[in-house]
Amino acid sequence: MAKELERAGLPTVLVTCLTNVAEMVGANRILAGVAIPHPVGDPGLAASVEQQQRRRLLLRALEALTVPVEAPRLFAVGS
């Protein structure tokens, strides 16, 4: 789906745990998600900490949308 969105000209960041799959399939902006059942969440964290993590992930995703890329690129979540 990511590639169809990109084909239509929409910068798209794919947030997924299986980043190797995303790179292979050819999504251009990739951000590592937490896990398959909860890509932007972590039930192991306290609720407020989980919310912070989600915010951080989204901020990083937004950042990835502003970066020009030439080919599939994996954006690290950072500290």
Partner 1 sequence: MAKFRVLHYLNQYFGQIGGEAEADARLQIRPGPVGPGTLLQAALGASAEVVATLVGGDNYVASDAERARAEVVELVRPWRPDVLVAGPAFASGRYGLACGTLCEALGKALGIPAVTAMHPENPGVELGRRHAYIVAAGTTARGMEEALGRMAGLAGKLLRGEPVTPAADAYIPRGILINEVVEAPAARRGVEMLLAKLGGDPYESEIPRPRWDRVPPPAPIKDPALATIALVSEGGIVLRGNPDRLESWGASKYLKYPTGASADLTPDAYECIHGGFDVSYACADPDRIVPLDAARSLERDGQIGRLFPFWFCTMGNNTTLDNARKFGAGIARELREGGADGVILTAT
Partner 2 sequence: MRLELAYYEIRDVRFGGATRLDDHVLTINREELSATLLEDERLGGMDLALAHPGERCRIVHLTDIQDARVKVSGPGEIFPGMVGGLAAPVEGRTNILRGLCVAETAEMPGMLESVVDMSGPVATLTPFSSLHHLVLLPRPADGVGRVPYGHALLKAGLRASVYLAEASRELPPDDLVVSELPIPGEPTGDGNLPRVAYLCQVSAIEDLREIFLYGGRARQMLPTLLHPHELLNGAIVNGIFDTPACRRNVTYGHVNNPVVMELIRRHGSDLRFVGMIVTPTPPTLREKERGAAMAAKLARYVLGAEGIVQTKGGGGHMVVDHMLACERCEELGIKTVLLNDRSVDTADIYTSERADAIICTGASGVDQWLEAPAMERVIGGTTLEGGDAREARRLPLTRVQSATDLLGLGRVRAIEF
Task: State the nearest-atom distance from the C-beta of 78 to partner 1, in Å.
Answer: 16
Task: State the nearest-atom distance from the C-beta of 27 to partner 2, in Å.
Answer: 12
Query: What Å distances lie between residue 36 and 2, 4, 32, 50, CA to CA?
Result: 17, 22, 11, 16
**Structure token digits, residue 33:** 């998600």
Whole-number Å distance between alpha carbons of 61 and 76: 10
74 makes contact with partner 1 (CB under 8 A) = no
- Which residues of this chain interact with partner 1, rule CB under 8 A? 1-18, 22, 24-26, 28-29, 33, 36-43, 51, 54-55, 57-59, 61-63, 65-71
